[in-house]
Amino acid sequence: MAITYLKKAIKTPQTGTDETRKIVSDMLVKIEAGGEEAALAYGRDLDGYHGEAIVSEETIANAADTVSDQLKDDIKFAFDRVTKFAEAQKASIQEFETELSPGLWAGQKLIPIETAGCYVPGGRYAHVASAIMSIATAKVAGVEHIVACSAPNEKGPNPAIIYAMNMCGADTILSLGGVQGIAAMAFGLFTGKSARILVGPGNRFVAEAKRTLYGRVGIDMFAGPTEIAIIADDTADAAVVAEDLVSQAEHGTDSPAWLFTTSRQLADEVMAQMDRHINALPETARNAATTAWQDYGEVVLCDTHDEVVQVSDEYAAEHLEVHTGRNQWYSDTLKNYGSLFVGEETTVSYGDKCSGTNHILPTKGAAHYTGGLSVHKYMKIVTTQRMTREANREVGQAAARISRLEGMEGHARAADVRLRKYFPGENLG
């Protein structure tokens, strides 16, 4: 296997350092003990916000007046596609009941989670799309109560985020971000309804808060900095590839961007263009992308397409684009990724904002074992069974024998008592 790193990362993204864990743990302890006032105090100290936690109907109405008609149309455009895709996901799994043997029926039921907590980042960027991805999907799943939160600044919550949250169906909106927002949803502060699942992207403190609370509540996934990988060959447009790498690097200084290619010429062209594309960004994004590409960017040259697949599947990128003359082959062969974007005509940016698939996806190799946020994350797939007395004749005897083989006499006796009751006088022990 001939693999050459034309550019190799010099750092590894860190989301759960000891310092981060201690800060988050201390905050969660203090907020649980201090309740709503403690959460508000962190909001004042960290965000400079001195208002109420629950966003009022008046604030929601004012937000709607602030948002332009064009942006409202764009939010609706994204909402419609995310909703349609979530509805298709929901339809892909069905409730059923089947007779496994005479008189023994087993079934599957889909039960929506009662309360979901949706975190929407509101710091450097106004992540309107994250509100759509998490809340609209929860609504399709049938979640009874959706709590959403986002970090305000000193003036209050971002109007576009509030508008999107409300339009997508959030029942309660909290003007809290960071660990305090996650804690408020998990502990049921301000609403009296503890979230059964916490979803949504965030910085390392948000990710660590979700990790710490996992088990007490469910979470969508353990998330780290966003990632992009692009598979490209000599048919790819270097300018398009470079722009797409930059589009994810602008997320933050620790956002990896990887290129896997069979073409040395393409690799050289892309690397030569990166600085130009990065320098064309506004200052905040430019600074983030510069550091991200310098510290975490990689360009991997492979001899064959099979080697490209091996490398890509090992990285298990959050977002994976394919720009080759063999797109269908790659689509059929690749196994590990959060979301796949096939062909130059689509891009991660479309999926991030409005094309319909969810942008809350696994990072840091988690795509080896899980997919992204879906309607199914908000639903419990539970099983049921029922049976006739006659069916106990066969099942009861088998269960008793297996139980005694395992040394679990109590289990065996639960079967025996039924066999004696339903079939008196018969020797079924």
For the annotated catalytic residues, the residue numbers are: 318-319
Residues contacting 256, CB < 8 A, separation 6+: 9, 13, 225, 227, 228, 292, 296, 297, 298
Q: Pick the closest to residue 94 from 75, 110, 76, 74 (CA basis).
A: 110
Show the tokens assigned to 177: 């971000």
**Count of beta carbons in the 10 Å neighbourhood of residue 92:** 10
The residue behind tokens 């040394």 is 407
Cβ burial of 70 (10 Å; 0-12, 13-18, 19+) is exposed
Contact predicate 24/179, CB 8 Å: yes
Rounded Cα distance between 75 and 128, Å, is: 8
Cα-trace Rg, the chain = 26
| Strand order across the 145-150 sheet | 172-174, 145-150, 115-120, 197-199, 218-219
List of residues 6+ apart from 60 with CB closer than 8 A: 162, 163, 166, 173
Residues sharing a CB contact under 8 Å with residue 84, sequence separation 6 or more, in sequence order:
356
* Tokens read off for 369: 């074992």
CB atoms inside a 10 Å sphere around CB 91: 9
Burial class (CB in 10 A: 0-12, 13-18, 19+), 280: exposed
Q: Which of 381, 368, 254, 231 is nearest to 308 (CA)?
A: 231
Q: Are 260 and 231 in contact (CB under 8 A)?
A: yes
DSSP state of 259: E
Q: Are strands 3-7 and 197-199 parallel, antiparallel or unpaired?
A: unpaired
DSSP letter string, 84-115 = HHHHHHHHTS--EEEEEETTEEEEEEEEE-SE
